[in-house]
Amino acid sequence: MSKKIKAIVLKGNNVKEKDKNILLFSLEEGKVWATLKGVRGEKAKMKYAKEPFCFGDFVIEEGKGSLIVTSVDILESFHELSQDIDKYFEGNGLLEIVNALSFSGQNENYQIFVELIKALKILAFHKVSKYSVLLKFLIDIFTIYGMEVYSEKCSCCGNDFHDHVYINYNVGELVCANCQTFQSEELSKGEFAILKILTQNDYDKLETIKFSSEQGLKLLKTLVKNFYSRFDKSLKLIGILS
């Protein structure tokens, strides 16, 4: 029995002579592995469906020991990401984050799927500050999981931050100088400002938000460290952090 799912390819690996197993992140089923038969052949009809970022309607059915992709209607390939090395690495970072996550229910799965497609569209088709999409995505992931990072006041005592803001990795929240511990790290004024503006604006506003790549990278390292603390999953972000 076949089933149609709306999905995006996160990654894949070659099997046999011309087959490929792909990890699909779908709106309906979450993350599922499926096989594309003969797709690495030069004249394969579905050869474009094996690539990361490929977004479309995949028809899958039970095979011998695995799901088989029988047809694909490609909605968007996000080919533009391959034309810009910085955007390509940032896009791969988005896929890596989703691959690291587990979903406790359909609501989380739905929200993250929609978030991923929005992030990829802005990254691929708009001119935005380097790392802004990846930062926005991470910030929203924390929020979806009930772990919102940004706050106007100290999450511990409720007082104003004044001149110093810290992130407490033990709880993943912002604290003041009086409440910071050995598990806390101070954010610069620039990092705090970027965190605030990205939290308070949606993807369609990213083109108007400007900051240096150095500032963005510094905040990104902080959020990646917080990701590990919250989810016990490390992010390599190849081409960005390694």
Query: How many angstroms from the chain centroid is the CA of residue 56?
Result: 18
Whether residue 125 lies inside any domain: the answer is yes
Q: Find the mean pLDDT for residues 136-144.
A: 98
Q: Which residues span the domain enclosing 147?
A: 83-231
The whole-number pLDDT of residue 143 equals: 97
CA separation, residue 196 to residues 166, 223, 241 (Å): 14, 13, 23
Higher pLDDT, 48 or 98: 98
Higher pLDDT, 14 or 67: 67
Largest Cα span, the chain: 65
Whether residue 154 lies inside any domain: the answer is yes
Q: Looking at the structure, do residues 44 and 104 belong to the same domain, yes or no? A: no
Number of folded domains that form the chain: 2
Q: Looking at the structure, do residues 122 and 66 belong to the same domain, yes or no? A: no
Q: What is the mean pLDDT of the chain?
A: 95
- Nearest CA to 44 among 15, 60, 20, 12? 20
Q: Find the mean pLDDT for residues 121-137.
A: 98
The whole-number pLDDT of residue 66 equals: 84
Whether the pLDDT of residue 104 is over 90: the answer is: no
The whole-number pLDDT of residue 38 equals: 79
Whether residue 93 lies inside any domain: the answer is yes
Question: Of the residues 43, 77, 111, which one is the last residue of a structural domain?
Answer: 77
Amino acid occupying residue 55: F
| Distance separating alpha carbons of residues 141 and 151, to the nearest angstrom | 16
Which pLDDT band holds residue 116 (cuts at 50, 70, 90)? Answer: very high
Whether the pLDDT of residue 170 is over 80: the answer is: yes
The whole-number pLDDT of residue 209 equals: 97
pLDDT tens digits along 180-198: 999 999 999 999 999 999 9
Q: Which contacts of 63-72 are long-range, i.e. CB under 8 A and separated by 24 or more positions?
A: 63/35, 66/21, 66/33, 66/34, 66/35, 67/32, 67/33, 67/34, 67/35, 68/34, 68/35, 68/37, 69/22, 69/34, 69/35, 69/36, 69/37, 70/2, 71/46, 72/46
**CATH code of the domain in which 197 resides:** 1.20.1440.120
CA separation, residue 230 to residues 122, 150, 171, 226 (Å): 26, 15, 8, 6
